């Protein structure tokens, strides 16, 4: 059966390199989707050797990335149509179809403005004749270990290409399709073939790439953050643990609560900036009940349905994750506000051989209770108390902190907290922002370093203004012309 499946093979030097080490990638219901050629250590080493031996070259022009973004979003690439690509990602990852469709458009848009995004992270140019600051890669090769939960993080390693780095990409085991399609689009747009390599593999192969490359980019959970967070040559994009802080009056704002339910559940709750902890100086119980009621109304549909709002898993994995989530409440004395609304467990059968994880809201009696800070791959949120005396401490270690109402005056203090990456005030989605707004620190200042370039250029001397020549024979300056 696997012989008739589409093959996803390593790409080195712009060419597919068939591998004898293969794995069958299955959909959530167990149906085979593709065979994936794995890049063993020797093949990865060949990619390293080739890319290190390549002649240095300037960063590709922005127009190349704009063309690649258009191809990625709209073209048939390597025999794969945009619709086939979207369905494969949905079936493999369980992320709702609408989230994947939006991600495709967002990736295309990001590649179209990639130079604008990168330049926003660097200081304004230093303009003195003869003296320039040049930002250059501080390492020639970047190893990028990318995730499965959402396609958009792949923009990060494409941005690295735009800054002049050469990139070796190890895709996630469930979604090799997105980085493979991006590589194909970039090569079709004219990218130097020795600038990027696509190397599927397991966790060990990812660690091998990180050990050999000059710099590393890792997406992962708490284990990855603990393993690589101390290294200054590895940029870790770990758990989001995004939070919102409300006041008693905010809880009376029905529209705000509707928005908050969306911030928890949009894209199926799989984003790192979906809200996973809500703190309140009002009633914890009332807020948890209000959120649970709203979230329970989200429909159960097959994940391939364009209207699907919730993520799907295979039955065995889904049951294990649901049991784990419900067990968090039982183990730590938390209150489960959702499961009774579903007959006892946050699982549903959409009728397509998968299970859908329905939202789960639990509440705790203190902000540092163990469930607080837990982030799961579906709409899961903990509601906890906050008092002014607590200050910003309960908001630490957050990709995003939302202050939509009464406590917006804390924005300055929260921004000064080193473990918070972004602050949002007002009724604004946690992932909102202009392309230039930092999302999680500065990729450019991790990848690049400033060097001085001094030339013989000097400031041109201004030409003297010519003296006025009086008309012949007058001996005097002319009278001014009359005003019009």
Domain annotation for the chain: domains and CATH numbers: 2-237 (3.40.605.10), 242-425 (3.40.309.10)
Spatial separation of the C-alpha atoms in residues 103 and 452, rounded to whole Å: 39
Please name the residues in contact with 173: beta carbons below 8 A apart, sequence gap of 6 or more.
25, 148, 200, 202
Mean pLDDT value across residues 178-203: 97
Would you say residue 472 has pLDDT above 60? Answer: no
Would you say residue 473 has pLDDT above 80? Answer: no
Sheet strands (E) in 186-291: 196-198, 215-219, 234-237, 242-246, 275-280
Sheet strands (E) in 297-454: 312-313, 335-336, 347-348, 355-357, 360-363, 380-385, 401-403, 423-425, 448-454
Which pLDDT score is estimated for 407? Answer: 96
Would you say residue 2 has pLDDT above 70? Answer: no
Which pLDDT score is estimated for 174? Answer: 96
Residue with the two structure tokens 């219901």: 29
Query: Quick check: helix, strand or coil at residue 408?
Result: helix
Helices (H), 113-149: 114-119
Spatial separation of the C-alpha atoms in residues 394 and 380, rounded to whole Å: 18
Per-residue pLDDT band for 441 (boundaries 50, 70, 90) equals confident
Burial 22-41 (b: 16+ CB within 10 A, else e): bbebebbeeeebbbbbbbbe
Which pLDDT score is estimated for 334? Answer: 94
Per-residue pLDDT band for 303 (boundaries 50, 70, 90) equals very high
pLDDT in tens, 310-334: 999 999 999 999 999 988 888 888 9
Which pLDDT score is estimated for 471? Answer: 38
Helices (H), 266-337: 284-296, 315-331
pLDDT in tens, 359-413: 999 999 999 999 998 999 999 999 999 999 999 999 999 999 999 999 999 999 9
> What rounded mean pLDDT belongs to the chain?
91
Spatial separation of the C-alpha atoms in residues 185 and 64, rounded to whole Å: 10
Query: Quick check: helix, strand or coil at residue 132?
Result: strand
Would you say residue 68 has pLDDT above 90? Answer: yes
């Amino acid at each position: 059966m696997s012989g008739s499946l589409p093959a996803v093979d390593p790409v080195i030097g712009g060419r597919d390199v068939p591998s004898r080490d293969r794995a069958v990638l299955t959909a959530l219901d167990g149906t085979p989707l593709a065979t994936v050629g794995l890049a063993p250590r020797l093949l990865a080493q060949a990619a390293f050797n080739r890319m290190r031996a390549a002649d240095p070259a300037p960063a590709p022009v922005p127009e190349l990335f704009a063309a690649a973004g258009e191809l990625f979003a709209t073209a048939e690439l390597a025999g794969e149509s945009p619709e086939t690509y979207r369905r494969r990602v949905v079936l493999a990852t369980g992320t709702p179809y609408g989230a994947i469709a939006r991600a495709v458009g967002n990736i295309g848009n990001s590649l179209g403005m990639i130079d604008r995004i990168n330049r926003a992270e660097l200081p304004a140019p230093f303009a003195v004749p003869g003296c320039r600051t040049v930002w250059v890669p501080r390492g020639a090769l970047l190893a990028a270990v990318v995730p499965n939960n959402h396609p958009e993080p792949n923009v990060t390693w494409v941005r690295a290409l735009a800054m002049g780095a050469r990139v070796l990409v190890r895709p996630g085991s469930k979604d090799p399709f997105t980085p493979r399609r991006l590589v194909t689009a970039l090569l079709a747009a004219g990218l130097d073939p020795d600038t990027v390599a696509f190397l599927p593999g397991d966790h060990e192969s990812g660690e091998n790439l990180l050990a050999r490359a000059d710099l590393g980019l890792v997406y992962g959970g708490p284990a990855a953050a603990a393993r690589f967070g101390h290294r200054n040559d590895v940029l870790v994009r770990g758990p989001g643990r995004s939070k919102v802080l409300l006041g008693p009056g905010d809880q009376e704002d029905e529209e705000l609560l509707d928005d908050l339910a969306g911030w928890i559940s949009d894209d199926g709750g799989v984003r790192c900036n979906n809200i996973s902890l809500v703190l309140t100086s009002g009633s914890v119980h009332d807020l948890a009940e209000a959120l649970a009621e709203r979230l329970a109304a989200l429909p159960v549909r097959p994940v391939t349905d364009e209207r699907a709002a919730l993520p799907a898993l295979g039955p065995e994995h889904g049951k294990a994750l649901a049991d784990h989530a419900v067990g968090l409440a039982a183990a730590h004395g938390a209150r489960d506000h959702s499961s009774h609304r579903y007959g006892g467990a946050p699982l549903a059968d959409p009728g397509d051989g998968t299970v859908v994880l329905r939202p789960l809201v639990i509440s705790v009696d203190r902000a540092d209770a163990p469930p607080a800070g837990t982030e799961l791959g579906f709409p899961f949120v903990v509601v906890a108390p906050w008092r002014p005396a607590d200050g910003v401490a309960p908001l630490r270690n957050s990709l995003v902190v939302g202050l939509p109402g009464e406590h917006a005056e804390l924005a300055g203090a929260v921004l000064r907290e080193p473990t918070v990456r972004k602050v949002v005030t007002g009724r604004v989605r946690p992932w909102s922002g202009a392309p230039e707004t930092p999302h999680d620190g500065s990729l450019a200042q991790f990848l690049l370093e400033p060097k001085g370039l001094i030339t013989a250029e000097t400031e041109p001397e201004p030409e003297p203004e010519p003296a006025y020549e009086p008309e012949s024979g007058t001996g005097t300056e002319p009278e001014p012309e009359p005003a019009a």
